[in-house]
Structure 1
Amino acid sequence: MAGNSDATTIGLLGQNPDLRSLLVYEDSGRYLKVVLAPDVKSPSEIRKMAVVPGLSELAATRFLESKGIKPGSVEFVTADPAEIPALTKKGDVDAYVLWEPWPAKGAELGLRIQETTGDYGLSYQHWLLSTSSWLKDHKDVAAKVAAALAEAARKTESDPQAAAQATQDAAKIPTAQTVNAVKEIDFAVRDFTAEDLKGYEDTARFYSDTGKLKARPDVTRAVQRGWLSDNTEVSR
């Protein structure tokens, strides 16, 4: 089992048709932010954007579209997230859309946070993932993982400071970074909704329309609507 964002996972479905998404455990339109170089006064001045394949590239594309800018008129430069704030500061690129802490790191370098993805109608989610072959014989294990995630989400929302300390102990991430993340991300375990599916289909179209995948990803097969309520007590 694993966790990954909806946008990145949908991009992997063509190569991994056995992937199955069981539930959502985090959701946010505030955690990813648009960051502009200091000399870029308006989105219309953007000529190059740094992106990470998957969620970042989708978010950058939708940002440009929201401003009436054709994505094809802007060059996308693929880079590692940790490199992107410095590349923008140097003037190698004009903007980026990334998750924290990279917007905050950019602000420390004098870059400008323009808006969040939610400001132009884009949210991201994290899915709990498995494969259909593994899940067939391990539903009880998956249900226990779902229950543990639900408990962790409740504790995170109720006591962000404790969650931050646990994260620092386990992963050496500064507590302030985690506390801020909890403010911007909604942690909760839930089933998929019809509205979710509309967003996923839009993402699937992004991959096929841009030619990144030869065939449109089969979101309906991958997303297991009702799995949580059918297999656990979490949503009851």
Structure 2
Amino acid sequence: MLNRFQNKWVGTVAALAALSIAVSGCTRPATDNSEESGGLVRIAVGVDPSYAPIFLADREGMFQAAGLDVQVIQTEGGAAGAQNVVAGTSELSGNADSTALSVMAANPSLRALGVFQESDRYFQVVLRNGVEPKSIKTLGVFPGIGLYFTNQYLASLGIDPATVTLVSTSPPEQPALLARGDIDGFLSFDPWVTQSVNTGGRVVATTGDFGAKYAQWIIASDNWLSANEETAGKVFKVISEASAIVNSDPARAATAIAASIQMDPTEAADRVTQIDFGGRGFTDDDVERANELVAFFRAQGKISADIDPSAVLLSGWFEQNAT
């Protein structure tokens, strides 16, 4: 039987990938709910281990100890968190760079405050036994960041993506498709990677092997942030402190994850070791990567509105407010 994490794979997929859904779903300006919240800060998260620092801080009372009134709101992940901020039902959200940029394109009042986790190894390339990278003919691909990473991987091999048949899939479908020989491989994350390895597949690369990675950002509306900057900084500082605990004590993080999303602790501990947690401000590299994502998805027709990453990524904000 699939556990809750597996049943809600979109919590991670969408958090890292749901570009196409996000653009059409939210066009209303973010709501200024600073008066309505009364000091309450609602953080929208997905249902997967990538939100470990927030789960840990909530479970262990770290927000409360910092004098904060924080409520963690679980969503199906992906664009849903940022859409909560747009709707005014959350003050903050955690979103992958690809998803955040798509929502920002449709809602220009959203701002990214900084990074709270990133990884160049969470996504892995799996090929069917007997298939070599240079002989790939068919790949399973899910939309958004999955397509972006797949294109980057093929380009790193000197393969024109147009010469490879890309089969639209969801991550849960990929292991069965690979085992049947319907696809030569796919680029995805656990538990789907491990399932495929157990049924005749093998890992041949991680995104880091071809210079790719993703990051997750903390998102807020400009209106709320302008009235609550000190509070936002305190919340992000707690998330950063919790991130250090996750990095140093995966078992402790796994306990918080298991309690928050009913995931097996051993599985949770394994997942968090594939991710680098830690609060930090934006760098020139972050802005450059954001520009590359915008260019790619605009070429794919997934982002139509103008968006300038250097304007919506608040460089220097984290250093000034959350350290």
Equivalent of 2:318, from 217, 221, 228? Answer: 228
Flag structure 1 segments of 5+ consecutive residues without an equivalent. Answer: none
Distance in 2 between residues matched to 1:31 and 1:227, nearest whole Å: 27
**Residue pair 2:294, 2:303 contacting (<8 A) in 1 also:** no
Equivalent of 1:48, from 138, 154, 170? Answer: 138
2:113 maps to which residue?
Answer: 22
Partner letter of residue 70 of structure 1?
A: D
Q: Could you report, residue by residue, the CA deviation over 1:133-156 in whole angstroms, capped at 9, with x for unpaired residues? A: 332223233223202211210111
Q: Could you report, residue by residue, the CA deviation over 1:17-52 in whole angstroms, capped at 9, with x for unpaired residues? A: 22211110112111110011234x222332332222
Deviation at 1:93, TM superposition (A): 2.3
1:190 maps to which residue?
Answer: 280
Deviation at 1:85, TM superposition (A): 1.6
Equivalent of 2:248, from 155, 158, 170? Answer: 158
The answer as to 2:104 corresponding to 1:4 is no
Q: Could you report, residue by residue, the CA deviation over 1:176-222 in whole angstroms, capped at 9, with x for unpaired residues? A: 22222232211110001112222222222211233433356421222
2:128 maps to which residue?
Answer: 37
Distance in 2 between residues matched to 1:204 and 1:22, nearest whole Å: 18
TM-aligned CA distance change 1:153 to 1:138, over 3 Å: same
Distance in 2 between residues matched to 1:79 and 1:173, nearest whole Å: 24
Flag structure 2 segments of 5+ consecutive residues without an equivalent. Answer: 1-91
**Residue pair 1:156, 1:162 contacting (<8 A) in 2 also:** yes
**Residue pair 1:33, 1:103 contacting (<8 A) in 2 also:** yes
After the TM superposition, which residues 178-217 of structure 1 pair with which residues of structure 2 at under 5 Å, given as runs? 178-215=268-305, 217=307
TM-aligned CA distance change 1:227 to 1:74, over 3 Å: same
Equivalent of 2:213, from 110, 123, 139? Answer: 123
Partner letter of residue 226 of structure 1?
A: G
**Residue pair 1:5, 1:55 contacting (<8 A) in 2 also:** no
2:189 maps to which residue?
Answer: 99
TM-score norm. by structure 1 comes to: 0.90
- Deviating above 4 A after TM superposition, structure 1's stretches of 4 or more consecutive aligned residues are none
**Residue pair 1:64, 1:70 contacting (<8 A) in 2 also:** yes
2:76 maps to which residue?
Answer: none
**Residue pair 1:13, 1:217 contacting (<8 A) in 2 also:** yes
Distance in 2 between residues matched to 1:224 and 1:86, nearest whole Å: 42
Partner letter of residue 93 of structure 2?
A: A
Provide the aligned C-alpha RMSD in A.
1.8
Deviation at 1:97, TM superposition (A): 1.1
Equivalent of 2:156, from 38, 44, 66? Answer: 66
**Residue pair 2:114, 2:281 contacting (<8 A) in 1 also:** yes
Partner letter of residue 127 of structure 1?
A: W
Distance in 2 between residues matched to 1:85 and 1:97, nearest whole Å: 11
TM-aligned CA distance change 1:44 to 1:210, over 3 Å: farther
Distance in 1 between residues matched to 2:123 and 2:284, nearest whole Å: 23
Distance in 2 between residues matched to 1:134 and 1:87, nearest whole Å: 46
Distance in 2 between residues matched to 1:73 and 1:13, nearest whole Å: 33
Distance in 1 between residues matched to 2:184 and 2:239, nearest whole Å: 38
When structure 1 is superposed on structure 2, of 58-67 and 96-105 the one drifting more is: 96-105
Distance in 2 between residues matched to 1:102 and 1:216, nearest whole Å: 35
Distance in 2 between residues matched to 1:44 and 1:12, nearest whole Å: 36
Partner letter of residue 159 of structure 2?
A: I
TM-aligned CA distance change 1:87 to 1:45, over 3 Å: same
**Residue pair 2:106, 2:305 contacting (<8 A) in 1 also:** no
* Sequence identity (%): 33
When structure 1 is superposed on structure 2, of 190-199 and 11-20 the one drifting more is: 11-20
When structure 1 is superposed on structure 2, of 12-21 and 162-171 the one drifting more is: 12-21
TM-aligned CA distance change 1:195 to 1:43, over 3 Å: same
After the TM superposition, which residues 69-148 of structure 1 pair with which residues of structure 2 at under 5 Å, given as runs? 69-148=159-238
